[in-house]
Structure 1
Amino acid sequence: MTDPSSIERHSYDVLVVGAGGAGLRAAIAAHDAGARVAIICKSLLGKAHTVMAEGGAAAAMGNVYSEDNWRVHFRDTMRGGKMLNHWRMAQLHAQEAPDRIHELEDWGALFDRTPDGLISQRDFGGHRYARLAHVGDRTGLELIRTLQQRAVALGIDVYMECTITKLFQSGGRISGAFGYWRESGRFIAFEAPTVVLATGGIGKSYKVTSNSWEYTGDGHALALEAGASLVNMEFVQFHPTGMVWPPSVKGILVTESVRGDGGVLRNSEGRRFMFDYIPEFFKSETADNEDEADRWYEDKTNNRRPPELLPRDEVARAINAEVKAGRGSPHGGVFLDIASRRSEEFIKRRLPSMYHQFKELADVDITAEPMEVGPTCHYVMGGVAVDADTEESIVPGLYAAGEVAGGMHGANRLGGNSLSDLLVFGRRAGTSAAEAAAALAGERPTIPDDDIRAAAEAALAPFERQGGENAYTVQQDLQDIMHRLVGIIRKADEMEQALEELDTLNERCSRLSVEGHRQYNPGWHLALDLHNMLRVSQCIAMAALERTESRGGHTRDDFPATEDSWATVNLHCVLDDDGSVAVRHEELPSMPDELRTLFEDK
C-alpha cells in the first residue's frame, strides 16, 4: 500500500496540464495576473503537437485584403462549422485573434512579410480572404518557440515528462491533480484550486493519424470523470492530405499550405477531380479547362478560392469518393501535385519543411513528383464544454483551452483557426483561472490522504495482475475498431458493432497486466492511457450514432442529408452515476440579431 506521506507534493494557484500553444499561453496569462503557476507536460518542453500546425494562424488583420475584418472571419468560421459553433466563442476568436498575433510579434515571433513589411497572410480552405499569418510552413514551431521562450523567461515552473492520471475535488470544486514521473514512475501530487486542461486531441485512438503519441484523450477523459461534459464529440476532422505512401511517412500531415500555394489534387486518371465536388453555383461560373479555371480563380475581383481549398470535411469526402470509385492512387489515396505547378525555387522557399521532411524520411521530392495522400485523423472538434468568456467548465475550478475544449469549431474546424484558437482562449483560460484562485484567498481546498492513496493504487493496478491482457494488443484492436467502424463514413449497424466491441475492450482493459519495474515502462504508460482512449472512443461512437444526419466532420452513409431538426442541437456526453457514458441533447445558445444579419445575402 502506498504511503501518501512519501509522495512528492507541490502547491500552486493555477495548474496547467499541457505545454502546447494553449497551455503555454494560459500559463503566461495566469502568471501575468499574479498567480503562482506550474506547467505539466507529458513529453519534453518544445515537443508539443502544436509544432505540427504548419500553415499559419488565422487572424483578420487585412494585410493582404483590406476588406477582411473580424465579421467576415466570424462568418467564415460559423459557416465552416455548419452553424453548430458556440457563436460567442467564434465572435471572441475573430475579434481577438489579430491582437494575439501582434502580441506574438512583440514577443519575438518572426513572421513572413508582405512587400510593404506587414505580416504576410496566405489562403486557406474555407476562408474568404487570405488571412493566415505564417512562417513558411513552420508556423506552429515558431509559435511554440516564442511562447516557450517567454514562459521560461518569466520563471514559470515546468514539470516535463510528467503524466496526470487523476483530478482531485473537494467541496464541489477542483483541489488538485495526481500524476507520475514517466522516467522513474514515482508519484507526484499537486494542490491547486484551479486546473487548466490544454492536453490536445484524441488521434491515437485511430489507426491512421497525423497526431503524435501524446494524443490519447487524457484531458477529455480527466474532465469527463471529474463531472464535466464533452460537447460535439461526433465531429472528428479527417485532414484531407495525410501521406499514405511510403510506409515511413504514413499518416504524416501534408500541410494545407501546399494547396494554398498552388498544389492540386488529381486522381489516377490525372484529372483534377475537385471541380466535380464544388457547389453548383461555382460550377456555373467555372471554365471548362484547367488553365482557364485557374485564371478564373486567381482573378482577385471575385474572391473565390480554388476547389482544393474548400473546407476540409468536403475535400476529405471528395478524396474518399474518388478512391471508392476506383480512381485512387496505387496505395489507396490520390495525388497531390505542386511540382508541375510551381518552380523548385518557389517550393523550397515557401514550403521548406515539407520539402526536407519528405525528402529525408521517404525519398519523395515534392519539387519533382506528386505525393500520395488521403484522409488522416487530424483533429477533434469535440471537447470539454466551457463558458465562452472564461473557459470554465461546469466543474468549478476546471478550465479548458485548445483542442481539448469544445464549442468553438462546431461541426468542422477551418484550417488556421486552431493556432489563433490556442492563443485567444489560452489567454482567457489562464486569466480566468488566476482570478478565481485569487478570489478563494484563505479558503483553498486540500487533498485528503485517502484520495492520494486511491489514485496511486489505481495507477499501480496493472502491476498487481499476472498473465493478463497486453496493452499493445488492446490498443491495436481499438485503433482497428475506430478506423473500420467509426471513421470518415459511418453507418448505424457499424457503430452499434463498434460500441459492442468497445464494451469488450473495456472488460479486457480491466485485465491489463504489465511486467517489469515502474522506471520508464512504456507498457505501463500505455495501460494507463488506454483507459482514456476507450472513454473518448465511446463518446465519439455514441454521439455519432445519436446524430442521424450528415454535417461537417460527421458523415452518415445511412443519413446522407443535413437535417434542419439537428441544426440547433448539440450533443453532450456525460458520465452517469454508474460510470457509464450517456448522451444528452442541448439547444445551441441563440445568436444576437446583429450577428445573425451577417449571414443574410452573403
Structure 2
Amino acid sequence: MSTSDDTADASDYETESVGVLVIGAGAAGARAAIELAERGVTDQLVLGKRGHGDAHTTWARGGINGALGTHDPDDDWAIHAADTLQEGHFVNDPGKVETVTRAMPEHLRELDDWGMDFSRTDDGEIDQRYFGAQSFRRTAFAGDHTGESLLDTLVARAQSLSVPYRENLMVTKLVADGDEVYGAVAVDLDTGQPTLIEASQVVLAAGGYAAIYDRHTSRDDENNGDGPALALDAGASLMDTEFVQFHPTGMAVDESDPEWEPWRGRLVTEAVRGEGGRLYNAEGERFMERYSPDQMELDARDVVARAIAQEVREGRGTENGGVYLDISHRERSFVRERLPRMYERFQELGVDLSEEPVEVAPTAHYGMGGVAVDDHGETDVDGLFAIGETMAGVHGANRLGGNSLAETLAFGAVAGEQIAARDPEPGTVPSTLRDSLVEPHITGLSTLANSSGDYTPREVLSDLQTLMWEHAGLLRDGDQLRAGLEQLEAVRNAADDMAVGPLGSRSFEFAIDVGFSLTVAETVLRGALDREESRGAHYRTDFPERDPEWRQNIHYHAADVGVTTTTEAVGEPSEAVQAALDEGHELDYHQLE
C-alpha cells in the first residue's frame, strides 16, 4: 500500500459491488444467505472476520429450541412463546417472539433434512432435553456441540448452493447517509488492504456485545459490539442493551495456573444442568433449594446466577470465587454420550467430570439488546438489516436458554425472504459519499495504523472490561453506574493514546474493537442508570422490585456527543399466546430425579 507521510493514499482501496452484503458468517448470516440463494438471489457476498466456519455459533453447545413435542406432545409454539415472554419479563417484542416460536419446528426438520447430526431417541426422532425455565423438553441438541454441528450443516448447505463468501475481512464502517445504506468498508486482516463493498442491501449478523465484560464466554476477538456499534453509527437505533445475560456457569479457575487461566469465564453449558447436574456451595449445601425449591438448578439464568453470587458474597464460595457443579451421580457412559465436549475439555485439564465436581461462577454470556428492527429484521435505515444476536426484541430482559440459535434461523430466513422479494440490484455508493465518508474513513484507518501512544489496544480493552464488570455487572446501583460513566471518559482518553500496529494486524483489529466496545458500553451504562427497577438480568440493588411503569423498551440514538435515550411501550401478545400464559405452564425440575 502506498503511503505519504505515514498516511495511505485514500484512493488506494479495492471496490466490489454486489446486490446483498451479509456481514457475519455465523448461523444467522449463513441462514440468511441460504434463504437468498434458495429464492434465486445469486448476487450476494458473505463476509467473515475469521476463517469460514469459525464463528461464535460453534460455542453454543447446549441446544436449540423448537416445540417438536418429541417427549412432551402437549408442547406447542404458543407455550414456547409464553415461556419466552415470561423469561424476558414481558419486555420482549411479542410479534418477534411469535415469529421465532412458530417457525422453529419446521426449521428443526429442515436442519434434519440437511443432515444435521442431532442426538436421537431410541425411535430415531430428534431428541429434546430440559433447559432452564422451559415448561417442556423442547431443546433439540447434538450432544453438547449443537452450535458446531448447526454451523457445519449451514455452511455445507450454503456451499451446495454456491453462496459466495470471503474470509478474514473486518468491517470497520457502514456506508450510509442516515436514511439509506450503500455498502461497507472492510480491511483484509491478511493483507491490510482496505475494500469498499457496494451493496443495495446489507445484513448485519455480526454477533453481540458480551465481551465488553471482564469475565465472558466469548473469545477475545468476538462479541465486542461490532454489529450494534456499526448500526448506530449508520443512523439506526439500538434497544435494550442494558439487559446483559450473566450465565450462571462459567469456569471459575485459578488464574495463577497457566493451564487453567485461558479458560476463565468460558461456558460450562447449561446442558450439564439439563442432564441433572447439581450446584453445591463450599459447605456442601445444595443451595438452590433455598432460592428455587421447585425449579432448582433449572430456574431462569438470572435467578441461578444471582443465587451463586449471593452464596459467594456471604462466604460460602469456593477457593476460586464460585460454587461446585456436580454431575457425578450420573454414569460415566451417560456423561460421555450426552456431554462429550465438556467431558473431553475437563479430562484434558485433569478432571473427570463423571467423578468430581467443577468450579463455576457467573460470566457475561449474551446481550439481549442490540439493533432495533421491524418485523422483517430491517432497521430504520433503508436496506440495512440486523439479525441474530445483533438484533433486539426477541429476548426482552433475559434470554431463554436454547433461543439464541433459534433466533438466528428464524430471522435469517425472514430477512432473506424480505430482501429476495426486492430483487436487489448491485449497489453503488454515490460519489458524494465516497468523498465525504469513504475516503476520509480509509485515511483515518491508515492514520490509526502504526500510530504511537502510551497504551496498547488490549490494555485499553481490558480496562473497559474491568470497568463494566465492576460498575454494570450482575448487581448494579445508581452510584456505581454514574461512576462508571465518569470512568468511561478516562478509557476514551486512553483510546486516543494507543500504540497500534499496521493495517490488518491483531493490534489494529483490537484497536477497532475498542471503538466498537466503547460505543456499546456507554449505552449499557446509560440504560442501566435510566431503568430504575429490577427486571430479569438487570438488577438494581437500589430499586430491587420490578416496576410495571417500566414495561418499556429503552432506545438509544447517536448524538453529536455520545447517545441519547427514548422509551417506547411494549406490545401485547396474541390471543393464542395469552391463552398459553393464562394456563400457567411451568417446568417441574423434579421430573429429572
TM range (shorter): over 0.9
Q: Equivalences for 1:76-475 in 2 at 5 Å?
A: 76-169=83-176, 172-212=179-219, 213-247=221-255, 248=260, 249-278=263-292, 282=294, 306-339=295-328, 341-360=329-348, 362-388=349-375, 390-438=376-424, 446=430, 448-450=433-435, 451-463=437-449, 465-475=451-461
Answer with 78-87 or 166-175: which moved more.
Answer: 166-175
Could you tell me which runs of 5 or more consecutive residues in structure 2 were left unpaired when the two chains were aligned.
Answer: 1-6, 585-593
What is the CA distance between 1:383 and its match in structure 2?
0.5
Q: In structure 1, what is the Cα distance between the partners aligned to 2:474 and 2:237?
A: 24
SS of the residue 1:399 aligns to: strand
Q: CA deviation at 1:129?
A: 0.4
Q: 2:18 aligns with which of 2, 12, 15?
A: 12
What amino acid sits opposite 2:63 in the alignment?
G
Shift of 1:586: 1.0
Residue equivalent to 2:35: 29
Q: Is the 8 A contact 1:198 1:404 kept in 2?
A: yes
Q: 1:399·1:433 contact (CA, 8 Å) conserved in 2?
A: no
Superposed CA deviations along residues 438-491 of structure 1, whole A, max 9, x for unmatched, are 3xx589654643132112012122236433432122112111101111111001
Closer/same/farther in 2, CA of residues 329 and 174 from structure 1, 3 Å limit: same
Aligned AA for 2:343? Y
Match of 2:544 in 1: 560
Structure 2 residue matching 1:192: 3-state secondary structure: strand
Shift of 1:46: 1.2
Mapped to 1, the partners of 2:253 and 2:94 lie a distance apart of 39
Cα contact 2:66–2:406 (8 A) shared by 1: yes
Distance (whole Å) between structure 2 residues aligned to residue 464 and residue 211 of structure 1 = 27
- Of 502, 526, 531, the residue aligned with 2:515 is 531
Give the distance between the partners of 1:83 and 1:241, measured in 2 at CA. 25
Residues 85 and 91 of structure 2 are in contact (CA less than 8 Å); yes or no, is this contact kept in structure 1? yes
State the 1:176 CA deviation: 0.4
Q: How many residues align?
A: 568
Q: From the superposition, tell whether residues 401 and 582 of structure 1 become closer, same or farther in structure 2 (CA, over 3 Å).
A: same
Measure the CA separation in 2 of the matches of 1:523 and 1:594.
52
Q: How many Å apart are 1:396 and its aligned residue?
A: 0.6
Return the alpha-carbon distance in structure 2 between the equivalents of residues 310 and 484 of structure 1: 25
Secondary structure at 1:93 match in 2? helix
- Aligned-partner Cα distance in 1 for 2:245–2:125: 32
Matches within 5 A, 1:480-495: 480-495=466-481
Q: Given residue 561 of structure 1, which amino acid in structure 2 is its aligned partner?
A: E
CA-atom RMSD in angstroms = 1.6
State the SS of the aligned residue for 2:346.
helix
- Letter matched to residue 555 of structure 1: Y
The letter for the 1-side match of 2:20 is V
Q: What stretches of structure 1 move > 6 A for 4+ residues in a row?
A: none
1:7 alignment partner AA:
Y
| Alignment check: 8 A CA contact 1:16 1:40 kept | yes
Could you tell me how far apart the structure 1 residues matched to 2:423 and 2:180 are?
11
1:54-93 superposed matches below 5 A: 54-93=61-100
Change (3 A) 1:423 1:86: same
Distance of aligned partners of 1:385 and 1:149 in 2 relative to their CA distance in 1, 3 Å threshold: same
- Counterpart amino acid of residue 255 in structure 1: T
8 Å contact from structure 2 (residues 241, 367) kept in 1: yes
C-alpha displacement of 1:593: 4.1
How far, CA to CA, are the matches of 1:463 and 1:452 in structure 2?
17
Partner of 1:299: none
Report the Cα distance in structure 2 between the residues aligned to 1:203 and 1:443, rounded to whole angstroms: 32
Are the aligned partners of 1:550 and 1:560 in contact in 2 as well (CA < 8 Å)?
A: yes
Gaps of 5+ in 1: 283-305
Distance in 1 (alpha carbons) for counterparts of 2:470 and 2:10: 44
Contact 2:225–2:517 (Cα < 8 Å) also in 1 = yes
One-letter code aligned to 1:28: I
- Residue in 1 that maps onto 2:589: none
Going from structure 1 to structure 2, the CA distance change for 1:38 and 1:566 (only over 3 Å counts) comes to same
**Is the 1:459–1:528 contact (alpha carbons within 8 Å) kept by the matching residues of 2?**
no
The alignment status of 1:574 with 2:581, answered yes or no, reads no
* CA distance in 2 between partners of 1:514 and 1:170 (Å): 29
Q: Are the structure 2 counterparts of residues 204 and 27 from structure 1 closer, same or farther at C-alpha, using a change threshold of 3 Å?
A: same
Identity across matched positions, percent? 40
